[in-house]
Amino acid sequence: MAFELYYWDGIQGRGEFIRLALELAGADYVDVTREPHRGTDEMMQIINSSSEAHIPFAPPFLKDDGQIVSHVANILFYLGPKLRLAPESDELRWFANGLQLTLTDFVAEVHDTHHPIATSKYYEDQKEEAKARSLEFVKNRLPKFLGYFERVLKQNPAHAGYLVGHDLTYVDLSMFQVIEGLIYAFPKAMSHYEIRYAGLAQLHGLVKSKSTIAAYLASPRRLAFNENGIFRRYAELDIEP
């Protein structure tokens, strides 16, 4: 049975971390809200259900043969072994999940650069605060996170160019997506990033050149970044660090 992915239509958003794993593995999956005879209503019915035992708080969530799994890191922890995108050993799987949760925090901070006060309000209503938060982000947080992942790459005893162990895992795909998003949203802060973070730049190129990933990125299933998503390009937030 096909995996069913539930996420908002129209944006890459957090759903993209799951899509990249499913696409690389060539898995059979349905992107429910984008299906012609299904859609967002079906997703909202699950979220708002008053009978479902395992209601998710928010998308993305995955349905696999009756099991509902919610939150990006949880879905990838669950899917990883099934898609052969998890490390072999338990020890490395716990490490991979820790890295994925650090990426989760990083992505939440990217979101808050344009919504520092209220998710329920428009960006335009919190523009000044967004500038202040973006300054903090490009000056302190972005280098802290990227510097950390660069160290993880360098200190991986396997020295294979991946974040965990000898082979590509779902964490590498998520790292690729975060770098793609940062280049889109903060081109100034990311200019020449490949000099400071040579390992990450190499990993990014490596993922991009995988044939199934290249095919996916060129397909209509890969939506473009846009200003409804997590990674947004606003000239006034693209601050020189």
CA separation for the pair 18, 73 (Å, rounded): 9
76-135 residues near a copy of itself, rule: CB under 8 A: 77-78, 91, 94-95, 97-98, 101-102, 104-105, 108, 112, 116-121, 129, 132-133
Residues contacting a copy of itself: total by CB under 8 A: 49
Residue 54 contacts a copy of itself per CB under 8 A: yes
Max CA distance (Å), the chain: 53
In order, the DSSP letters of 113-177 are HH-SS-TTS-GGGGHHHHHHHHHHIIIIIHHHHHHHHHHHHHH-TT-SSSSSSSS--HHHHHHHH
Least Å distance between CB 113 and a copy of itself?
10
Within 10 angstroms of residue 93's Cβ, the number of other Cβ atoms is 18
Among 74, 169, 174, 177, binds a copy of itself (CB under 8 A): 74
CA separation for the pair 121, 114 (Å, rounded): 11
**Quick one: how far is CA 188 from the chain centroid?**
21
Among 50, 209, 211, 219, binds a copy of itself (CB under 8 A): 50
Specify the residue, 155 or 219, whose C-beta has the smaller distance to a copy of itself: 155
Beta strand 61-64 with 29-31: parallel, antiparallel or unpaired?
unpaired
Residue 209 contacts a copy of itself per CB under 8 A: no
Specify the residue, 133 or 213, whose C-beta has the smaller distance to a copy of itself: 133
List the one residue out of 31, 37, 35 whose CA is nearest residue 16.
Answer: 31
Contacts of 43 (CB under 8 A, 6+ apart): 6, 7, 32, 33, 59
Least Å distance between CB 53 and a copy of itself?
5
Specify the residue, 157 or 220, whose C-beta has the smaller distance to a copy of itself: 157
Within 10 angstroms of residue 153's Cβ, the number of other Cβ atoms is 22
Among 28, 37, 67, 218, binds a copy of itself (CB under 8 A): 67
* Piece of 12-20, 30-38, 150-158, 220-228 that binds a copy of itself (CB under 8 A): 150-158
Specify the residue, 73 or 213, whose C-beta has the smaller distance to a copy of itself: 73
List the one residue out of 103, 58, 106 whose CA is nearest residue 76.
Answer: 103
* Piece of 37-45, 60-68, 80-88, 189-197 that binds a copy of itself (CB under 8 A): 60-68
Least Å distance between CB 15 and a copy of itself?
16
CA–CA–CA angle 185, 128, 110 (5° rounding): 30
Residue 73 contacts a copy of itself per CB under 8 A: yes
Interface ranges with a copy of itself (CB under 8 A): 49-57, 61, 67-71, 73-74, 77-78, 91, 94-95, 97-98, 101-102, 104-105, 108, 112, 116-121, 129, 132-133, 136, 140-141, 145, 148, 151-152, 155-157
